[in-house]
């Protein structure tokens, strides 16, 4: 017998080829004016940040970019992002990439709203201030960060992994573009792995780079 449960998914999931093109429409619906675009250097180099910025610009939303973080974002990187966001006067956040980009964006949201060090938000429900609306655009199939309200951030001093969660940092919407993830995987030369029960993994080779196509 199945146990009873009460499940609420607060993030709107939009999946399909070309789903990224809806970014501008959603930003306009939420009346955004200036968004912080959070993406790692590889995603930026692949041109996805430029494309997202163009889509926002078409609906009158300006953008400030932040790429200064690594595969495992730490508290110093989050602090740097929050300073960039504060100086720009943003009112929204777009995260593009894998779990690192999405988690870094959530951490920036927490520190920007409430101030103080990242370790203050370790645990659950410790957000302070007004959190900004955000959109997650995952480019890999295995992160899951776009559909939950936690960010995993390393403490820059102790190197401890901190799970920082709050309902307010969940993305308002997540755009999942199947073809986009395939192209990004090939462009970045990365192998995406996902549970075989959830995805069909088929090896492909393009431009001499090994990759895995994930078909959900």
For residue 200, give every residue at least 6 positions away whose Cβ sits within 8 Å of its Cβ, in sequence order, or none.
214, 215
pLDDT digits (tens, 9 = 90+) for 82-118: 999 999 999 999 999 999 999 999 999 999 999 999 9
Burial of 85 (0-12, 13-18, 19+ CB in 10 A): buried
Per-residue pLDDT of the chain (216 residues; tens, 9 = 90+): 667 777 666 787 777 777 788 899 999 999 999 999 999 999 999 999 999 999 999 999 999 999 999 989 999 999 999 999 999 999 999 999 999 999 999 999 999 999 999 999 999 999 999 999 999 998 877 667 887 899 999 999 999 999 999 999 999 988 666 544 434 433 333 333 333 333 333 333 333 332 222 222
Query: Looking at beta carbons, which pairs linking 69-73 to residues 24 or more positions away fall under 8 Å?
Result: 69/40, 69/100, 69/101, 69/104, 70/40, 70/100, 71/40, 71/100, 72/100, 72/154, 73/100, 73/103, 73/104, 73/107, 73/153, 73/154
Nearest to 92 by CA among 38, 128, 146, 144: 38
* pLDDT of amino acid 11: 81
> Tokens representing 49?
């940040």
pLDDT of residue 143: 67
**Distance from C-alpha of 203 to C-alpha of 27, rounded to nearest angstrom:** 36
Fold of 12-177: Rossmann fold (3.40.50)
The domain locations on the chain are: 12-177
């Amino acid at each position: 017998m199945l146990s009873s449960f009460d499940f609420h998914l607060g993030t709107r999931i939009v999946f399909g080829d070309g789903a990224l093109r809806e970014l501008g429409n959603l930003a306009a619906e939420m009346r955004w004016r200036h968004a912080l675009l959070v993406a790692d250097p590889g995603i930026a180099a692949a041109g996805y940040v430029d494309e997202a910025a163009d889509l926002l610009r078409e609906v009158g939303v300006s953008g400030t970019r932040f790429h200064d973080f690594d595969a495992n974002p730490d508290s110093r990187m989050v602090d740097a992002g929050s300073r960039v966001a504060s100086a720009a006067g943003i009112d929204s956040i777009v995260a593009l990439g894998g779990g690192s980009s999405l988690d870094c964006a959530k951490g920036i949201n927490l520190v920007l709203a409430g101030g103080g060090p990242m370790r203050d938000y370790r645990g659950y429900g410790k957000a302070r201030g007004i959190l900004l609306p955000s959109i997650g655009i995952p480019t890999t199939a295995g992160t899951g960060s776009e559909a939950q309200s936690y960010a995993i951030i390393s403490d820059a001093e102790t190197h401890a992994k901190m799970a920082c969660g709050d309902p307010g940092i969940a993305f308002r919407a997540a755009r999942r573009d199947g073809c986009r993830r395939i192209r990004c995987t090939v462009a970045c030369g990365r192998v995406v792995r996902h549970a075989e029960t959830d995805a069909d993994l088929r090896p492909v080779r393009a431009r001499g780079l090994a990759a895995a196509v994930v078909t959900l």
